[in-house]
Structure 1
């Protein structure tokens, strides 16, 4: 089957998932994942992240909707679709009595891939597992077991890799190894979809961000565009003379006066930066308000995420 390289590698349309008792885990999710990108799916616990991943990977059955993965419908062409996907789950499920080498090699064979000891060795070396290749998995630490899960997910050379909370409970060394490998995989054309509670990782790694809450995608945007559109900035002016209150004709500006009257904070959107600051400084000068120092700060991705989730909670269902 030929696949258009410019088409999304994953396309979800109208995905719903309802459980017995009426709980709606996912609500009309539409999402396209582009080829070769790192896409971060963020959301609070219970938002629907793992359910969505489970549906794409064929572990969970959607109540309604369609999913196409690497050109294959995940229901009609299940085997081909699943062969394109590698999944690193949250849970540490491994073959406890098998050796590292045996379980990774077996995972490769499950997808009909011919033996390739050179490739398996490379994966194990990249994950610092080579020295443990003959060790029984039951003897490994939690961090090493997490490495084995990643190796198993990569064993059949998937074009799509899902990382579901891969950093949960792992040490700093593994996190560094994992993100180095993720960058290498992306450089070689693999598409990465990750969920994480470490929002700084998403800010550092992702090309695009999706935020899900209460089963609904509330935003999907290029990371840089999202931070530019939704990021708030603040300009803090340290005043030469303390103020008791803000003049009435400055009330329309987003100004906050410190309790001690020694500083004035101007909050603004990124789009307002060039014209807003200059105009504000002119108006302050007209009022004889002088400052001795100024500093600026801006929202992080975590600030934006918290704001979006809070807004969605306040929106009536």
Structure 2
């Protein structure tokens, strides 16, 4: 098992899955380092949930191979299941039981002894701010409380890898941010998070790396900043106090465009440190005085639309 800890948390090569004639996954490759958040981004129907189901051993792939926590999902499914937690977009809590009873039931399923059951349940109730509601039926919980309880139940067995499938769907902004904070703490503690989401700002906020899934294929992968730099439209905005400085800069920077009647130039840029340094060095060499400089890069909305061609009415949102 020690050798497993040196491997990626998740590694997949050539995963394929079809339902009848409909190809859902068309040969995807994934590598997720331990202790990171990896986000799979895609519109509804892109294949996100199918990917989670294969990696969590709920369904078999038609082709390819995958390892999770060092175990092969096909031949070592029990090892995978013992190492993971899965939280879906629809919570799996029992409405008739209290929050505490749900956690105790999950502890029973993990074969914890009586003392360990009580201790782990109390620990998780505290961690997820559910102590006051512990004895109340889950039917009285808000959406945010239910989602926190669902994740707490996932954590009873101390999984190494957690699959969060659309974890904040339907939550209000405050509950979403509370969930984000929980995710950050889990990762800081060494847990690996595989996050599927259609919320672009959620991937931008949480993910160390993002893969964009479109019609069963991964069309791009990288950090949020790397993905944004792939898309045209990034620029550096230069603001001047004196018109003569602006005129001097505009003559020297042939690709710059003046913004309306303001003393502002827009210079196309990929937003990288290297291109920014080159621009600043060039302005310095001309002794042009710039009052203010700001970098503008495309956001993940631009990235997603450029990579997938999805129109704005499809269910991917930056809400």
- Band the TM-score falls in, shorter-chain normalisation: 0.7 to 0.9
- When structure 1 is superposed on structure 2, of 231-240 and 176-185 the one drifting more is 231-240
By how many angstroms is 1:199 displaced? 3.4
Mapped pair 1:310 → 2:306: yes
By how many angstroms is 1:138 displaced? 2.2
1:88–1:150 CA contact under 8 A, matched in 2: yes
Mark the CA change 1:72 to 1:220 in structure 2 (over 3 Å): closer, same or farther: same
Mapped to 2, the partners of 1:305 and 1:112 lie a distance apart of: 45
Provide TM-score, normalisation by structure 2.
0.81
Name which of 258, 275, 298 aligns with 1:272.
275
Aligned to 1:205: 206
Mapped to 1, the partners of 2:300 and 2:147 lie a distance apart of: 30
Mapped to 2, the partners of 1:260 and 1:7 lie a distance apart of: 57
Aligned to 2:316: none
Mark the CA change 1:125 to 1:171 in structure 2 (over 3 Å): closer, same or farther: farther
Aligned to 1:236: 238
2:228–2:303 CA contact under 8 A, matched in 1: no
1:165–1:194 CA contact under 8 A, matched in 2: yes
Mapped to 1, the partners of 2:2 and 2:290 lie a distance apart of: 65
By how many angstroms is 1:55 displaced? 1.5
Aligned to 2:153: 152
Mapped to 1, the partners of 2:209 and 2:307 lie a distance apart of: 20
Aligned to 1:14: 14
Mark the CA change 1:259 to 1:225 in structure 2 (over 3 Å): closer, same or farther: closer
By how many angstroms is 1:69 displaced? 1.1
Query: SS of 1:58's equivalent?
Result: coil
| 1:13-40 alpha-carbon deviations (Å, 9 max, x no partner) | 11112122x2222121111111111222
CA RMSD in angstroms comes to 3.0
Query: SS of 1:132's equivalent?
Result: coil
Aligned to 1:89: 88
| 1:247-282 alpha-carbon deviations (Å, 9 max, x no partner) | 6x865x2x2233447532111122322223443676
The alignment of Structure 1 onto Structure 2 pairs a total of residues equal to 301
Spell out the pairing of 1:1-317 with structure 2 (5 A cutoff).
1-20=1-20, 22-115=21-114, 116=116, 117-223=118-224, 226=227, 232-238=234-240, 240=243, 251=254, 253=255, 255-260=256-261, 263-269=264-270, 270=272, 271-279=274-282, 293-299=291-297, 303-304=299-300, 306-313=302-309
By how many angstroms is 1:12 displaced? 0.9
Query: SS of 2:5's equivalent?
Result: coil
1:167–1:175 CA contact under 8 A, matched in 2: yes
Query: SS of 2:132's equivalent?
Result: helix
Mapped to 2, the partners of 1:211 and 1:263 lie a distance apart of: 35
Provide TM-score, normalisation by structure 1.
0.81
Mapped to 2, the partners of 1:297 and 1:259 lie a distance apart of: 18
